[in-house]
């Protein structure tokens, strides 16, 4: 198998599944080259519904060049409300044109008139009795253009190999359902290191990893600032840490300010520092640790040559449902695969009725049996993790779930000179960049 790049291996992705050379090129030369639109699964009442019974205003936002968290903060500032009153179903890429839903608690449609927020179009959808929660969408539809592709003629060969990996249906490609670089930080993939420290109860190490440890792909001035902040961190000079960090590192400064307020002498002070950032980012730290372990499990499954499109004895599968035209996993409906059931369940997987899964480990996780279970246990042992470790305070607690090991999609490819455009849809939580990496074969560190 073709080896992954170092920045990919740092987040648990060890291989490509297609051996054919890629098309090369770059994505996101312009925001419009990466278009994402949510496949929605959230019902809203008419905008004229009683705000007492339906206190959430639901809006559809088309954003150009916005990080989701940054936009939520800017929108809340413009409305004069707490950031915690803004919620959404899925975090999107910054360097893109994205269309997604937001819910705004105790906000009226008239409050949006004349808002000064750049590069955004807002349309009122209606009102709802609850706010959007992470995962309140079926998936995402993508239209992505790769520029300066120096080998565009390679796309069909890659596609053919991905069709075979996904089960052999013409037009339908399959790739391991890895968590992409964005899950861990596109240019500074450290969120899983923070999360691993949190799960192990190493609160100070978690803060240090996020705030002051530089990463080689960061700009030199940022690395220099982190090194200066690291010296102040070691001296317990928390105000010095704040002063060393540029204002653009807002979450890092928030953590350092919390340490300055509390003194930074006890483990609970460092936990409080982590809780100085938005709740969704707190959850992301632990989610990233789970995602890293998941990627490691998939990489080991590949290494051992186990199939992804059908089960082996010991696997756990989940069944599927169709939502808004997408076939998506229903992880509430699981079944363990015994030796006598392998062929029966394999037919369900072949027809898109079931998916082989691996764990996103948490307190409620039951590991597989046979060779799949052996892989899961070996990875967790290597990371010094167990399901009980995720019994954590506040937003850091996680019961875990399971996730398909394979994602399949009908994919259209259009080639025009040195530009290659891909159109496809994925279930929520699956990454377009994981599909594209197979076609490009370029180093993410160079993007």
Sheet holding 401-404, edge to edge: 326-336, 316-323, 354-360, 401-404
CATH code of 164's domain:
3.30.2350.20
Give the range of the structural domain holding residue 437, as residue numbers without chain letter: 6-32+139-177+408-446
Answer yes or no: do 246 and 358 share one domain.
no
- Which three-class secondary structure state does DSSP give residue 121? strand
Answer yes or no: do 394 and 329 share one domain.
yes
> Side-chain half-sphere of 94: how many Cα atoms within 13 Å?
10
In a domain, 186, yes or no: no
Answer yes or no: do 200 and 231 share one domain.
yes
- Which three-class secondary structure state does DSSP give residue 215? coil
CATH code of 50's domain:
3.30.70.3160
Q: What is d(CA 32, CA 57) in angstroms, rounded to the nearest whole number?
A: 28
Answer yes or no: do 339 and 322 share one domain.
yes
Element (H, E) at 253: helix 250-262
Where a domain ends, among 218, 253, 277?
277
Answer yes or no: do 57 and 125 share one domain.
yes
Answer yes or no: do 436 and 319 share one domain.
no
In a domain, 1, yes or no: no
Query: How many domains are there within the chain?
Result: 4
In a domain, 381, yes or no: yes
In a domain, 182, yes or no: no
Answer yes or no: do 435 and 339 share one domain.
no
Strands 172-176 and 406-410 turn out to be antiparallel
Q: What is d(CA 101, CA 209) in angstroms, rounded to the nearest whole number?
A: 32
Q: What is d(CA 178, CA 308) in angstroms, rounded to the nearest whole number?
A: 12
Where a domain ends, among 372, 387, 404?
404
Instruction: Give the active site residue among 31, 33, 93, 177.
Output: 93
In a domain, 196, yes or no: yes
Nearest CA-CA partner of 275 in 264, 283, 263: 283
In a domain, 183, yes or no: no
Q: What is d(CA 238, CA 355) in angstroms, rounded to the nearest whole number?
A: 49
In a domain, 50, yes or no: yes
Per-residue pLDDT of the chain (447 residues; tens, 9 = 90+): 899 999 999 999 999 999 999 999 998 889 999 999 999 999 999 999 999 999 999 999 999 999 898 999 999 999 999 999 999 998 888 889 999 999 999 999 999 998 889 999 999 999 999 999 988 999 999 999 999 999 999 999 999 999 999 998 999 999 999 999 889 987 789 999 999 999 999 999 999 999 999 988 899 999 999 999 999 999 999 999 999 999 999 999 999 999 999 999 899 999 999 999 988 899 999 999 999 999 999 999 999 999 999 999 999 999 999 988 899 999 899 999 999 999 999 999 999 999 999 999 999 999 999 999 999 999 999 999 999 999 999 999 999 999 999 999 999 999 998 899 999 999 999 999 999 999 999 998 776
CATH code of 219's domain:
1.10.1510.30
Q: Is the dihedral of CA 424, 430, 435, 441 positive or negative?
A: positive
- Token output for 297: 């499990």
Answer yes or no: do 294 and 400 share one domain.
yes
Answer yes or no: do 319 and 345 share one domain.
yes
In a domain, 238, yes or no: yes
- Classify each residue of 110-135 as buried b or exposed e, where b means 16 or more C-beta atoms within 10 Å of its C-beta: eebeeeebeeeebebbbbbeebbebe
- Contact between 439 and 23 under an 8 Å Cβ cutoff? The reply is yes
Answer yes or no: do 51 and 145 share one domain.
no
Answer yes or no: do 53 and 26 share one domain.
no
Answer yes or no: do 130 and 171 share one domain.
no
Where a domain ends, among 233, 256, 277?
277
Annotation says 93 is catalytic: yes
């Amino acid at each position: 198998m073709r080896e992954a790049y170092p920045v990919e291996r740092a987040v648990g992705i060890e291989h490509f599944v297609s051996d054919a050379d890629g098309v090369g090129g770059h994505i996101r030369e312009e925001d419009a080259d990466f278009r994402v639109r949510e496949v929605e699964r959230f019902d809203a009442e008419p905008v004229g519904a009683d705000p007492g019974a339906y206190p959430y205003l639901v809006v559809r936002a088309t954003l150009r060049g916005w990080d989701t968290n940054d936009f939520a903060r800017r929108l809340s500032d413009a409305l004069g409300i707490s950031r915690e009153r803004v919620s959404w179903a899925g975090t999107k890429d910054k360097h893109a044109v994205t269309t997604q839903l937001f819910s705004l608690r105790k906000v009226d449609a008239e409050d949006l008139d004349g808002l000064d927020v750049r590069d955004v179009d807002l349309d009122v959808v209606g009102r709802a009795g609850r706010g959007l929660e992470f995962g309140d969408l079926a998936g995402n539809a993508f239209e992505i253009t790769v520029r300066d592709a120096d080998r565009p003629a390679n796309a069909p060969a890659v596609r053919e190999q991905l069709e075979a990996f996904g089960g052999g249906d013409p037009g339908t490609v399959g790739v391991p359902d890895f968590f992409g670089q964005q899950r861990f930080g596109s240019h500074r993939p450290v969120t899983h290191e923070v999360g691993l420290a949190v799960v192990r109860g190493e609160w100070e190490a978690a803060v240090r990893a996020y705030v002051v440890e530089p990463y080689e792909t960061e700009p030199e001035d940022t690395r220099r600032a982190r090194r200066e902040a690291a010296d102040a961190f070691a001296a317990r000079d928390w105000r010095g840490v704040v002063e060393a960090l540029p204002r653009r590192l807002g979450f890092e400064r928030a953590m350092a300010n919390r340490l300055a307020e509390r003194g930074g002498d006890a483990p609970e002070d460092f936990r409080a520092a982590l809780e100085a950032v938005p709740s969704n980012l707190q959850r992301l730290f632990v989610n990233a640790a789970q995602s890293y372990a998941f990627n490691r499990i998939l990489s080991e499954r590949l290494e051992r040559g186990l199939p992804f499109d059908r089960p082996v004895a010991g696997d756990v599968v989940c069944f599927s449902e169709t939502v808004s035209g997408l076939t998506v996993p229903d992880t509430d409906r699981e079944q363990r695969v015994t030796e006598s059931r392998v062929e029966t369940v394999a037919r369900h997987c072949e027809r898109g009725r079931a998916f082989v899964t691996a764990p996103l480990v948490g307190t409620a996780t039951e590991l597989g049996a046979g060779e799949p279970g052996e892989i899961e246990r070996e990875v967790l042992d290597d990371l010094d993790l167990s399901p009980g470790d995720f019994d954590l305070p506040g937003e850091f607690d996680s019961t875990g779930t399971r996730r398909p090991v394979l994602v399949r999609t009908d994919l259209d490819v259009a080639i025009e000179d040195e530009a290659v455009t891909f159109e496809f849809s994925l279930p929520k939580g699956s990454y377009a960049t994981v599909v594209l990496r197979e076609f490009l074969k370029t180093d993410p560190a160079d993007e």
